[in-house]
Amino acid sequence: MSIAVSKFRDVAEGTQAGQFEVGDRAAVRGLNDLDPVYKQLLNGPVTAVVAVTGSRGRPNLTPVWFDYEDDKVLLNLASHRKKVEWLRSTPQASFLLMNPQNAYHWLSIKATVIREVSEDDPDEGTRVTEQLNRMWTKYTGNSGSYPLREPGRNERRILFELRVDSVATFGRP
């Protein structure tokens, strides 16, 4: 399977005909095969904005920690959050990762939920917790277990695996 990549033209080299339009199209086997200029957005602690379709059919945008494996995006959510219900109802999401130092260097991903794993799953539940702890370290620099579970609630996590359908890239750092 391959992932379609649309490479938007930008104005880093000055104005040009067709600027801000798709200049080139390519395909990659997985997110690991993206140009390093964009892969750095995936690998660094860049907060993503995820869009999911809410119960009234409108996009709901939320900042989230970003993680991926090969051609899958991983989205770890508290099971009681509305996004869990919405993703189950409409299993598509879009992610935007924008360079915090340069808003004209970004990557967007359109993806479809292919699987979910509960933290309570007897076989794979530890994977959900371990992935959350990795994100805690990636985004805060602190080691150890994720400490921000909601007090007074037995917060349980769901790990959504999303197949990457397409990618769009823009700009340079």
139 within a domain of the structure (yes/no) = no
CATH code: domain of residue 55 = 2.30.110.10
14 within a domain of the structure (yes/no) = yes
135 within a domain of the structure (yes/no) = no
What per-residue confidence (pLDDT) applies to 121? 97
Number of domains in the chain: 1
What per-residue confidence (pLDDT) applies to 70? 81
Residue numbers of the domain that contains 54: 3-118+159-170
Residue ranges of E strands in the chain: 3-8, 22-28, 48-53, 59-64, 67-69, 72-78, 92-98, 106-118, 157-170
126 within a domain of the structure (yes/no) = no
68 within a domain of the structure (yes/no) = yes
19 within a domain of the structure (yes/no) = yes
pLDDT in tens, 43-69: 999 999 999 999 999 999 999 999 999
